[in-house]
């Protein structure tokens, strides 16, 4: 099984995770910019973080034969902090970088007027830079937040097939499907979506425009839940080709719209992940 995790925050994960992911078949991933865990106090905090997402983290991933791309944005939670807003002026410089394949995560967290403004401005940046957008939906008031999200996306003028609306569940999948946007599902160990629930959604709606991710971050999460979802799909009677479509070809198709997805080195060196001194291997061949 080859796996592309379209939404995972490797900055907050260890090399053990990279090794386990490589062994499980993860060959590529996209790391969306998100919050720090504690409040950022200045825009400079974003500069270092964004540089790490397009420099250090791809290098770390390559040791394990995993190709790393990023999405860049001011995330919805930090959109509410006036100390973070000036980062909007720094985004255009990052949105031109080779390894940046979308604007994201953008969208709503608490659905405030500040989030409205920042969401609209960043959708405009996606249009301007000819990039797809990765849109987070709120964990509270999900139905309301998702409807509002789709209205703002429609008003922005971005093509729906260039937008992935993420963190969906049984309640929100239908309206996103009808909008023409891609549907993202984050599979969690304890709460929210689980592999069996994801399989039921795939049975009902089919594999088209479906993205499955682990969204692993600082919290309790598991980077191998993509694999577990693929295994659950096979057990439920889906074919290997269905699994490959959902876990590999769909994310490739979505992020390829950036014109920047480069999968050279995906799976290279997965047998011998090393991360020490002179034995470091780049996954470039």
CB of residue 264 vs Zn ion: minimum separation in angstroms? 26
Residue 136's SS3 state is strand
Q: Rounded CA gap, 108 and 150, in Å? A: 11
Distances in Å between the alpha carbon of 23 and those of 61, 223, 246, 267? 13, 12, 19, 10
Residue with tokens 């001011």: 74
- Nearer to Zn ion by Cβ, of 163 and 243: the residue is 163
Q: How many residues bind Zn ion (CB under 5 A)?
A: 2
CB of residue 221 vs Zn ion: minimum separation in angstroms? 10
- Nearer to Zn ion by Cβ, of 102 and 215: the residue is 215
Residue with tokens 């930090």: 78
- Nearer to Zn ion by Cβ, of 68 and 238: the residue is 68
Residue with tokens 């791309």: 69
CB of residue 285 vs Zn ion: minimum separation in angstroms? 31
Please state the length of the chain: 285
| Element holding 3 (H helix, E strand) | strand 3-5
Lay out the site mask for Zn ion across 183-222 (x = CB under 5 A, - = otherwise): --------------------------------x-------
- Nearer to Zn ion by Cβ, of 106 and 215: the residue is 215
CB of residue 215 vs Zn ion: minimum separation in angstroms? 5
For the segment 102-161, give every residue that binds Zn ion (CB under 5 A): none
Asked if omega into 105 is within 30° of 0 (cis), the reply is yes
Lay out the site mask for Zn ion across 32-71 (x = CB under 5 A, - = otherwise): --x-------------------------------------
DSSP state of 187: B
CB of residue 10 vs Zn ion: minimum separation in angstroms? 11
- For residue 205, give every residue at least 6 positions away whose Cβ sits within 8 Å of its Cβ, in sequence order, or none: 173, 174, 177, 183
**Both tokens assigned to 33:** 């910019």
Q: Rounded CA gap, 72 and 64, in Å? A: 23
- Nearer to Zn ion by Cβ, of 70 and 232: the residue is 70
- Nearer to Zn ion by Cβ, of 166 and 228: the residue is 166
- Nearer to Zn ion by Cβ, of 5 and 228: the residue is 5
Q: Rounded CA gap, 57 and 223, in Å? A: 16
CB of residue 102 vs Zn ion: minimum separation in angstroms? 12
CB of residue 277 vs Zn ion: minimum separation in angstroms? 32
Residues that bind Zn ion (CB under 5 A): 34, 215
């Amino acid at each position: 099984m080859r796996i592309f995790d379209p939404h995972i925050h490797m900055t907050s994960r260890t090399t053990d995770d990279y090794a386990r992911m490589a062994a499980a078949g993860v060959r590529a991933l996209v790391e969306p910019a998100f919050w720090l865990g504690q409040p950022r106090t200045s825009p400079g905090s974003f500069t270092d973080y964004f540089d790490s997402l397009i420099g250090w983290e791809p290098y770390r991933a390559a040791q394990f034969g995993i190709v790393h791309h990023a999405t860049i944005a001011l995330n919805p939670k930090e959109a509410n902090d006036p100390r973070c807003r000036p980062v909007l002026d720094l985004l255009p410089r990052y949105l031109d970088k080779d390894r940046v394949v979308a604007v994201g995560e953008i969208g709503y967290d608490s659905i405030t007027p500040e989030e409205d403004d920042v969401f609209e401005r960043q959708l405009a940046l996606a249009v301007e830079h000819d990039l797809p957008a990765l849109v987070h939906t709120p964990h509270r008031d999900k139905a309301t937040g998702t409807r509002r999200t789709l209205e703002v996306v429609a008003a922005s003028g971005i093509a729906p097939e260039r937008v992935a609306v993420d963190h969906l569940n049984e309640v929100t999948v239908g309206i996103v499907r009808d909008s023409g946007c891609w549907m993202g599902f984050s599979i969690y160990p304890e709460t929210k979506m689980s592999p069996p629930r994801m399989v039921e959604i795939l049975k009902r709606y089919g594999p088209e425009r479906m993205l499955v991710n682990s969204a692993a971050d600082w919290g309790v999460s598991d980077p191998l839940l993509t694999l577990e979802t693929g295994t659950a799909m096979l057990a439920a009677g889906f074919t290997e080709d269905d699994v490959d479509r959902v876990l590999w070809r769909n994310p490739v198709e979505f992020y390829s719209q950036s014109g920047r997805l480069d999968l050279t080195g995906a799976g290279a060196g997965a047998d011998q992940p090393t991360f020490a001194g002179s034995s470091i291997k780049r996954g470039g061949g």
